[in-house]
């Protein structure tokens, strides 16, 4: 990948190019930042730039045999580690290289949910397993194919299990010659502190709203809509792409959010016993539907994060700060009536309950209990008075 193909991030590109030109190449770097801002793309472009024999001050040449192999993600000195869901027949990343290359070359910007969908395992949680550490050691023990660097790109290193993380730490302490580790992380705080201390961290910033809007316009989007979506995306080009695609999945999360809080309001606030009973039955069914194994833990966690975002947006709307609101039209329509019920008296407690539910799902808790308890907590909190 060329630097010129990456949206924005000019300062980070300049930092990486300057390090190569001046020969100050750390053996391990950590690209950290939110999803969808180009961290993996920067790592790929940097790896290619590092190995291109005809690089200029600004970019790789893009035409030499080395560049052509890197463009196809098939250079012998380019290695990848990423979360997988192992099976009896496939238990290391090499078994998943074909879909991995495909999602990078065709999607460019993607997140963990997209990767799970590409694998067809969206109902499971992925991990970087212990056996992968042996594969890393084996690959890096080989002699370089060319005169450049062996590059090991580890995407989502926070998904390493404890054994793998400790073995990687030993490699970072005594790195093989002519080897560069590039870790690409959204949650670097989840890495071992000893790993964090042995890498040079590059904090990749959020993209400018204008940069995202211009990229959307280049793909044929109307300028006004592009600006609106870019603002809602809050610095993530991937978020902008997903917002632009009013998919059934996005609408379903809003529907689930509305169902939860409408019935919680009916049970907690209204006096009609018949309506209360019917809403309570719906909440019970809602919790069962959300806990269904077909939904899967990743989608459950994604919904809970979405719900936290919407609670935040409704609170901001309620306190009269429209310039800080980031919602789509369908979300704003519901918030017009719902926002007054999210206020100083309950917003913190609601956010804590949603966050706790997400954490419990992450820890493989019983989803039926977690979601029904969440319903009961929302019934209590939605009727709390302003402070």
Q: For residue 261, is pLDDT > 90?
A: yes
Q: Is 203 helix (H, G, I), strand (E, B) or coil?
A: strand
What is the pLDDT at residue 107?
86
Question: How far is the C-alpha of 45 from the C-alpha of 68, rounded, in Å?
Answer: 12
Q: Could you tell me whether strands 28-32 and 200-203 are parallel, antiparallel, or unpaired per DSSP bridges?
A: parallel
Res 246: pLDDT: 62
| Contact call for residues 347 and 315 (beta carbons, < 8 A) | yes
Asked if 129 contacts 168 with a C-beta cutoff of 8 angstroms, the reply is no
Quick one: angle between helices 297-318 and 112-119, nearest 10?
A: 150
pLDDT at 325 over 80: no
Give me the chain's average pLDDT, please: 91
Element containing residue 202 per DSSP (H, E): strand 200-203
Instruction: Provide the percentage of residues in the chain whose pLDDT is more than 70.
Output: 97
> What is the percentage of the chain residues whose pLDDT exceeds 90?
68
Residue 341: partners with Cβ closer than 8 Å, 6 or more residues away = 261, 265, 314, 382
Q: Are 27 and 180 in contact (CB under 8 A)?
A: yes
Would you tell me how many other CB atoms lie within 10 Å of the CB of residue 268?
18
* Strand extents, DSSP E, 24-96: 28-32, 78-81
Query: How far apart are alpha carbons 153 and 187 in whole angstroms?
Result: 16
Please say if the pLDDT value at position 121 is more than 80.
Answer: no
Q: Among the residues of the chain, which ranges form H helices?
A: 10-21, 39-51, 65-71, 97-107, 112-119, 131-140, 162-173, 193-196, 209-218, 223-233, 237-244, 248-269, 273-291, 297-318, 329-338, 347-362, 367-382
pLDDT digits (tens, 9 = 90+) for 172-224: 888 888 899 999 999 999 999 999 999 999 999 999 999 999 999 998 888 88
Q: Does domain 3-205 have CATH number 3.20.20.60?
A: no
**Is the pLDDT reported for residue 51 higher than 90?**
yes
pLDDT at 145: 84
Whether 322 shows a pLDDT value over 80: the answer reads: no
Domain boundaries, the chain: 3-205, 211-243, 249-382
pLDDT higher than 80, residue 387: no
CA angle 29, 72, 171 (to 5 degrees): 30
Q: What is the per-residue pLDDT across 90-106, written as a single tens digit (0 to 9) for each?
A: 889 999 999 999 999 99
């Amino acid at each position: 990948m060329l630097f010129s193909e990456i949206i924005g991030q000019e300062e980070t590109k300049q930092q990486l190019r300057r390090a190569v030109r001046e020969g100050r190449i750390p053996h391990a770097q950590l690209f950290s930042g939110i999803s969808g801002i180009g961290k993996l793309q920067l790592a790929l472009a940097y790896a290619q730039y590092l190995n291109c024999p005809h690089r200029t001050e600004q970019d790789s040449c893009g035409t030499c045999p080395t560049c052509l192999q890197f463009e196809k993600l098939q250079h012998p000195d380019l290695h990848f580690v990423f979360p997988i869901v192992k099976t009896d027949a496939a238990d290391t990343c090499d078994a998943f290289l074909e879909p991995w290359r495909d999602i990078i070359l065709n999607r460019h910007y993607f997140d963990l949910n997209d990767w799970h969908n590409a694998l067809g395992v969206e109902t499971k949680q992925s991990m970087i397993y212990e056996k992968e550490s042996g594969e890393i050691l084996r690959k890096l023990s080989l002699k370089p194919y060319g005169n450049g660097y062996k590059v090991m790109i580890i995407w989502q290193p926070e998904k390493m299990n404890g054994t793998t993380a400790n073995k990687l730490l030993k490699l970072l302490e005594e790195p093989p010659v002519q080897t560069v580790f590039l870790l690409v992380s959204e949650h670097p705080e989840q890495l071992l502190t000893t790993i964090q201390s042995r890498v040079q961290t590059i904090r990749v910033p959020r993209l400018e709203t204008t940069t995202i809007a211009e990229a959307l316009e280049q793909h044929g989007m109307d300028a006004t809509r592009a600006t609106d979506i870019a603002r809602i995306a809050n610095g993530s080009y991937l978020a902008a792409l997903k917002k632009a695609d009013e998919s059934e999945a996005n609408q379903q999360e809003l529907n689930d959010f509305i169902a939860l809080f409408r019935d919680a309001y009916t049970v907690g606030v209204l006096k009609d016993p018949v309506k209360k009973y019917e809403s309570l039955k719906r909440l019970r069914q809602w919790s069962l539907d959300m806990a269904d194994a077909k939904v899967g833990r990743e989608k459950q966690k994604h919904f809970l994060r979405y719900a936290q975002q919407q609670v935040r947006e409704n609170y901001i709307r309620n306190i009269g700060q429209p310039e800080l609101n980031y919602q789509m039209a369908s979300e704003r329509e519901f918030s017009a009536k719902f926002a007054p019920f999210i206020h100083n008296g309950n917003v913190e407690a609601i956010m804590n309950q949603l966050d706790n539910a997400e954490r419990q799902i992450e820890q493989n808790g019983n989803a039926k209990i977690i979601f029904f308890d969440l319903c009961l907590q929302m019934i209590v909190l939605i009727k709390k008075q302003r402070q």
